[in-house]
Amino acid sequence: MGQPKNFRKIPEAILDKIERLKKDSLVAACVRKIPASVIRRGDFEHLGIVLKGTKIEFRESQVPPFDQGKYSKLNVEGEEIVRNDLPLETHSHTVEAPDWGRRGYGTHPVELPHKAYPREHIPPSENEIAIELLGKEDEPEPIFVLKFVVSEVMDRSKRKFHKRLLFNLNLLLENAGAADVFQSDAKFEDYMKTLYVHWEILPPGERDANIAKILQHLPDTPEVRKKILDRYEFLEKLNPENFVQGLGGFKRYFGAKFSDRLVVFENMEYGNAVYAMFADWEDQSKKTRQELLASGREGKDFIRVPHLKGWKSKVKEIVRERSVDG
């Protein structure tokens, strides 16, 4: 699992979801469909998730290791904050000075005063991540449906709620590769439905509004903004019926719909290829990348176009050919 970037602020999609939840007690959690090959590769070994033959094994709950990222380290070691909002204090440190001002005659300790801001130590949270197996799919290779939940139950009515939420989302992101928020008493069905992508149609001709809506569900960085703008302008020139964005768990999709049998999009979580889908694209979009590629349907139900030299020409050709066929 490539190291995900941390959220600099709580994503708008999660804030919107919190507004819709009925109860104040919330947890950072997510559900992931993880192919056996990914587990064998060791992507989740830091959480003790391994395969013994075809059987998955893991510890039900543990504090994630400190070396998984910034928030994992803070979770284990705590934080020291320099309080530069407070007045400077006089501190001193000890050095050994030579006796008589010359070497060879011994040394004696000397206290040297200096000014410094006070420091405040924030103790570690030592939050655990609980893991639960929700299900297993056996084709074309075993795929395990796992739930990851940060142990801290947060109260959204409390003053420090947003600070704790951002911390726990990032802790989860560093260790599970995804992040979301749920009521602390969420049921099995609440978790399972986040696996599936819900598509939203964005009308053409509303470029600025569409781009703003797409960006509100993604990390707000110059790199992401530039990528979305480039993809949007490219697809816009191909004259799609509509633009689409898909939301599922914390997977983010963006693309263009040319007909009921041709949608071109990419998963912004992976971001290394465009997928042109021809049949049952809404159902196909529920599958993970590994499920798609292992389905044996590439070239028939979909075409994957990696972002390599000439990828835009390849996509143009697909759209032109499929539009004629349709």
Q: How many residues are present in the chain?
A: 326
Tell me which range, 107-116, 240-249, 275-284, 302-311, is most confidently predicted by mean pLDDT. 302-311
Bridge pairing between strands 79-82 and 119-122: antiparallel
pLDDT band at 3 (very low <50, low <70, confident <90, very high): very low
Q: Is the pLDDT of residue 11 over 60?
A: yes
30: phi then psi, degrees, rounded to nearest 5: -160, 165
User: Can you give the pLDDT at residue 137?
Assistant: 82
Average pLDDT, the chain: 83
Q: Which residue has the tokens 């759209």?
A: 319
User: Can you give the pLDDT at residue 250?
Assistant: 43
Q: What share of the chain is helix, strand, coil (3-state, %, to 5)?
A: 30, 35, 35
pTM of the model: 0.62
Which strand (E) or helix (H) includes residue 323?
helix 311-325
How far does CA 302 lie from the centroid of its chain?
26
Between residues 146 and 261, the one the model is more confident about: 146
Distance CA 297, CA 299 (A): 6
Q: Is the pLDDT of residue 325 over 60?
A: no
Least confident of 18-27, 49-58, 129-138, 282-291: 282-291
pLDDT in tens, 210-227: 888 777 766 667 887 888
DSSP code at position 216: T
Bridge pairing between strands 262-267 and 50-52: unpaired
